[in-house]
Every structure is written in structure tokens, then in C-alpha cells.
Amino acid sequence: MIAQVLRSIGAACKVPIRNRIVRGRNVKKNLAESQETSAKPAGWIRRRTVSTMRCITIFLVFLIIAGVAFTPYQKTHDDGLWPVSVTVCSASGRPIKAFSAEALMSRAAGEAQLNRLVPPAATRIDNCIYAGVQEPFLGQPLEINVPFSYTIRGSLAWNYKRYFQYSGLLIVVEWEGGKLEGRALELPDLRVGREVNVEFP
């Protein structure tokens, strides 16, 4: 009887000890899991920060390259007067007393003046810098000045060119006897040629 009581007391003492051991193991396991769980967000935040910084760096490098590529680094502008040689002749041999040549904005501007021609002598008096007069007629080229402008802008990624010139030419011939005859022409591209030959009947 006494032996049974002692065994019951021993069994009762062993159960709490075993429970305490199991609880201790569970506490250690829970602590390890909590540490692992808390370590995961820190690592994720670190990786996300590195990725964000890398994207920002790439974006800044792209902006620098784009700025260098599209910023104009060269600009050339030139405007002034180019000389053009005008030669007039008569296909029939009809004597020419004088002639004048004037550069205009366009051929249409010259055609608008064909109904109110001005004698070469009056053109000389007007002293227009874009016009020239040969009086008396010598059969030689007459040089006139034609306005032009030329602009170039460039960068590593683009290139812009703009060219402008007066494109109209009005020629007025005065025949012997005082009769006037005019002709409106299109000036050639002065970058290609600067000579104009006109033949009247």
C-alpha cells in the first residue's frame, strides 16, 4: 500500500517537470520564429531600398545623356548680300538702249509690276541696293545684290538648317525709241549658281 502511494507521488512530480521541459522548448521555438519573422521585413526593406536607388541612378544618368544629346552646341547665322550676274541680249539683234535688273521677294512681286514698268533711268535715281542699271547698254553682265540668310543649329541628336533668299527677279529693257519691255523671273538657288542669262526676242 505504501509502495503504491509513493509511486503515485513520484508520477505526480514527474508530470510537471516534463510539462516544464516541453514549455521551455516551445518558448525557445516561438522566440526563434519571432526573430526569423522580424528579420524578414528588415531584409525586404533593404532590398527594396537598393532597388529604388538603382532606378533613381539609372533615371538620372538617362536625364544627363538626354540633356547632352538634345542641347544645341552649335549655331551659325549669316545674312547679307550675294552678288548675282545678269546678262541680257536680243535674239533678233534689235538695239537695246538700257536695261535694269532688281531682286524682289518673289517672282509674283515682279509679275505685279509688269503693268507699270519703270525706265532704267528712274531705277538708277531710286538707287535701290537690290537693283542695278546698265545705261547705255554694253552687252556685258550686270551685277546686282540679292539678300539672303542662312541659319544652322545642331546637337548630337538633331540638326536644323534654314536658308532664305529673295527669289524674284524683274528685268526691264528699254529699246531704242523708248519702248519698255519687262520680264519676271525666278532666281536660282544662290548656293548653286549666281548667273542669270535672259534673251529677249
Q: Please report, to the nearest 10 degrees, the dihedral formed by the alpha carbons of residues 120, 122, 125, 129 taken in order.
A: -60
In CATH terms, is domain 74-200 a member of 3.30.70?
A: no
pLDDT of res. 88: 97
Q: Please report, to the nearest 10 degrees, the dihedral formed by the alpha carbons of residues 150, 191, 102, 142 taken in order.
A: 140
Q: How many CA atoms lie within 13 A of 71 on its CB side?
A: 7
Q: In the chain, where are the structural domains located? A: 1-70, 74-200
pLDDT in tens, the chain (201 residues): 545 534 554 444 444 444 444 455 554 555 555 555 554 455 666 667 767 777 777 777 766 765 665 566 556 666 789 999 999 999 999 999 999 999 999 999 999 999 999 999 999 888 899 999 999 999 999 999 999 987 877 666 667 678 899 999 999 999 999 999 999 999 999 999 999 999 999
Q: How many CA atoms lie within 13 A of 51 on its CB side?
A: 6
94 to 5, 98, 132, 184, 199: CA distances (angstroms): 158, 12, 22, 20, 11
pLDDT of res. 140: 95
Closest by alpha carbon to 154, among 65, 72, 67, 66? 72
- What are the grid coordinates assigned to 192, written together? 548653286
CA distance 80 to 192: 17
